[in-house]
Amino acid sequence: MPPPIEALYHGAKSPFPLEGGHAAVPCVECHATRSASGRLVFEQVATQCSTCHVDPHAGKQGPRCDTCHLAVDWRSRRAR
């Protein structure tokens, strides 16, 4: 049996796992496009942090926040 759609796109081994603060975000917060009949359209959405979050570094650290930060709470930093 195939895994649920959420596991394919947002599971632990997916390209964009919903971890930390992202785990409780309703689908419609990111997948807001609707078809003519009103159904949600789950097309690719931007996965850069700055799409939804204010960048406190004003772009000076690059577009990949996850290079230094963890999705758990964004105050947590990756070990270098």
> Tell me: the pLDDT tens digits for 54-68?
888 898 988 888 888
Q: Is residue 10 part of a domain?
A: no
Return the ∠ at Cα 16 (arms to 13 and 21), rounded to 5°: 105
44 Cβ contact partners less than 8 Å away, ≥ 6 residues apart: none
> Which domain does 48 fall in, by range?
23-80
- The widest CA-to-CA distance across the chain, in whole angstroms, is 49
C-alpha 74/C-alpha 66 separation (Å) is 9
Number of domains making up the chain: 1
Confirm whether pTM is higher than 0.85: no
The band of 70, judged by pLDDT with boundaries at 50, 70 and 90, is confident
Contact call for residues 70 and 78 (beta carbons, < 8 A): yes
Q: Is residue 49 part of a domain?
A: yes
Q: Is residue 4 part of a domain?
A: no
Q: What are 36's two structure tokens?
A: 């003519």
Q: Is residue 5 part of a domain?
A: no
